[in-house]
Amino acid sequence: MRESIREKIRLARRVVGEIFYGMVLHDMVLGLRRQRGEVERLFALILFGDMIGLPILPPYYTLRLLPYVMPALHRWKRSLLRERDLTDLAELIEAVD
Amino acid sequence: MNAIVVLILAALGIVVGYGFYARRIDRDIIQPDPKKATPAKMYMDGVDFTPASRNVLFGYQFKSIAALGPITGPIVAVAWGWLPALIWIILGTFFIGWVQDYGSMMMSTRRDGDTMGALSYKLVSPRARNILLLFIYFYILLIMGAFGNLIGKGLMVNTKVPFGMLAVTLMGVLAGQMTYKWKRDIILTTVVTVVLSFVGIWLSTQPAVSNIFSALYGFRMVEGKAVSPTIFLGNTQAQVIGTLLVVIFCYLGSVLPIWAWAQPVNYVSFWIIALGMLGGILGMLIWRPGMGDFPAFTQFTIGAGPLWPMLFVTIACGAISGWHSLVSTSGTARQLENEVDALPVGGGAMFMEMALATISFLTATVAFGSFKAYQDAAKPGALGVFAEGLARFLDHIGVPHDFGVAYGSVFLVIMGLTIMQLAVRFMRVASSELLGDKVPVMKNIHVGTIIALLLTILFVWIIPWLTIWVAFGAANQLMAGLALMLVALWLLSEGKKHTWALYPSIFMIVTTIAALLFVAYDNLIRKLPTAKTVQASIAYILIGVICLLLIVAAVMLIQDGLAALRKWRAKAAEKAA
């Protein structure tokens, strides 16, 4: 009985904490994620030559970096090729009304 | 009627609306599948498509949809009497508001996380996407005008407000430095910046500080009343300087890196707003005031226009708002971890916003004790009513009245400014994307920002705030009608029952076109011939033409929508055969 009350309190705390995080910090995290995404896209683009066998930078460094980029290749491709329009930007303006 | 009775009615609306109506539609018609992969899982890119828990998304969605709209609309609308406003807040959310937010979120989730632009292209016509973009452009422009007017020419004119606004802004910048540059603990950062913000708001009420702004605004005593001289286009020195302070804030918000200005200022202001709301609700519960002589119904036609259609565009966000569909599709739908989360996130956040609109409704109806006192407080603008009402609630938890009014005003100023800075950022990016290839100078961040702000100043200085507010509400509600039409078309394309989205869509489109026609007629036919100044003539023409443009766009959209409806109906019949 006591254990189940404790469990309920723990669950309630988690729910309140997550809602609070969603209200206060989630948009900041999204903003940072977007910035990181842009840098990662640039990074992948720099190494793109090596991926297709046409090195742009001296191969020693790019070959060292390639293992870090390859796992994100599909993500990069999806993110880069996704069709966008201005309504995609709507999420930039939170809390408009 | 007592405030507690109103709160109970709103709670009943939530329990029945969410617990029965919304749940039933979710269970019987949409039938979310917990095993189905959502776009967040299928297309995870670590940026836009990333799953998040339903509680996090609920908080995020609520914060993204609730701001000054649900606060301002009810305050203006109670001029028709408290009953029509309360009925529309509760029934509007019940039958229409949550349908749009949840429906658009679910539609995007089932359609690979497409945004409204892509969805209107695919479900209606290629032209529909361009029309939607036109709506968005005018919507943003009208937001800038409406909020700029309410803040720059309303709240900022009070000499006890600007220093508090500057203090909160500076604390926001400090929070950005502490978090990102000095890597300080978030709790320490929060405590330091929020406490110092309150100290700043308190200082702003002190004569030594407010007198600086009195001097800056050129206030002089005329017949025992402090008056600021009229210096430009019929605006006083206080209004001109107040607007310029708003413009400078937005300029910095648009051109500085988001981590250095917009984000941390939003963060600190969240605490100022949340503590204010909490204090206000506590004060109201302790006080439990009644409405006094506040009439249930005043008359059919008031300053804002006739009850139908104008009430339905005056209260936009507290009952239904087109902007929510954009947030639901471009932001939240791409982060849903599970289809079953769409109802608590999309529907739940909308019902929560209804609660916020009800609190705002109460500040206007119960805090003043009489209808006359409400009317006097509403003369300079709706936000003054909320600031004064909040201060009266805070009185009951021991907050000094003078500090309460300054706090309520700073609370609203900062709430409006955080939206405006992001809107300018959006306009800057939009003009760069749309015109950058043809006019390379538009790619410059300063040029795009300055053009957006010049348009804002034009709107703020020459158009009365109530006129912009109703035009803004109409553009917003028309977008809601379009979103509901898209939801109905999507349901039809999936062979599901669609009338629960189609009828609200018809109601919203007919009502908002009628509202736009009224505003255009009022400005171009009734007011323009009797305009006494060039400035007034420009204002009437500007608003009238924008309304006509929106009507033309809406008619084109209806035409395309009807064609799409016939097409999807034929396909559904073919499939059934």
Cβ distance of A85 and B118 shorter than 8 Å: yes
| Closest by CA position to B422, among listed B256, B174, B243 | B256
Q: Which backbone phi and psi does B306 adopt, to 5 degrees?
A: -70, 150
- Residue B55 in contact with residue B355, Cβ under 8 Å? no
Among B residues 139-178, those touching chain A with beta carbons less than 8 Å apart: 140, 143
CA distance B374 to B198: 28
**pLDDT value of residue B346:** 96
Chain A contact for B435 (CB, 8 A cutoff)? no
| Closest by CA position to B473, among listed B146, B157, B110 | B146
Among B residues 256-285, those touching chain A with beta carbons less than 8 Å apart: 258-259, 263, 266-267, 270
**pLDDT value of residue A79:** 78
Chain B contact for A29 (CB, 8 A cutoff)? no
- Global pTM value: 0.91
Give the one of B50, B67, B129 whose C-beta lies nearest to A97's C-beta.
B67
- Residue A16 in contact with residue A51, Cβ under 8 Å? no
B380: three-class secondary structure by DSSP: coil
CA distance B104 to B220: 54
Q: Which amino acid is at B512?
A: T
DSSP per residue over B461-484, as a string? HHS-HHHHHHHHHHHHHHHHHHHH
**pLDDT value of residue A91:** 60
Residues of B in contact with A27 (CB under 8 A): 60, 63-64, 263, 266
Cβ distance of B58 and A19 shorter than 8 Å: yes
Residues of B in contact with A34 (CB under 8 A): 47-48
H/E stretch holding B301 reads strand B301-302
Which one of B60, B189, B354, B479 makes the best mutation probe of the A interface by having the most chain A beta carbons within 10 Å?
B60
CA distance B305 to B274: 34
Per-residue pLDDT band at A52 (split at 50, 70, 90): confident
- Residue B428 in contact with residue B422, Cβ under 8 Å? no
Which residues sit opposite B220 in a β-bridge? B227
Instruction: Please give the structure tokens belonging to residue B201.
Output: 């708001």
Q: Which backbone phi and psi does B184 adopt, to 5 degrees?
A: -80, 160
List % helix, strand, coil for chain A (3-state, nearest 5). Answer: 80, 0, 20
Start-end of H helices in B288-400: 307-314, 322-327, 342, 348-365, 371-378, 382-395
**pLDDT value of residue A83:** 77
Give the one of A22, A34, A35 whose C-beta lies nearest to B56's C-beta.
A22
Of A33-37, A88-92, B99-103, B253-257, the one with minimum mean pLDDT is A88-92
**pLDDT value of residue B250:** 94
pLDDT for residue A95 is more than 50: no
CA angle, corner B74, sides to B68 and B75, nearest 5?
85
What is chain B's pLDDT, residue by residue, as a tens digit (577 residues)?
Answer: 788 899 999 999 999 999 999 999 999 999 999 999 999 999 888 778 899 999 999 999 998 888 888 999 999 999 999 999 999 999 999 999 999 999 999 999 999 999 999 999 999 999 888 888 878 878 888 889 999 998 999 899 999 999 999 999 999 999 999 999 999 999 999 999 999 999 999 999 999 999 999 999 999 988 888 899 999 888 999 999 999 999 999 999 889 888 888 889 989 998 998 899 899 999 999 998 988 889 999 999 998 899 999 999 999 889 999 889 988 998 899 999 999 999 999 999 999 999 999 999 999 999 988 899 998 888 777 888 999 999 999 999 999 999 999 999 998 998 888 888 888 888 888 888 778 888 999 889 999 999 999 999 999 999 988 889 889 999 899 999 999 999 999 999 999 999 999 999 999 999 999 999 999 999 999 999 999 889 899 999 999 999 999 999 999 989 999 999 999 999 888 887 7
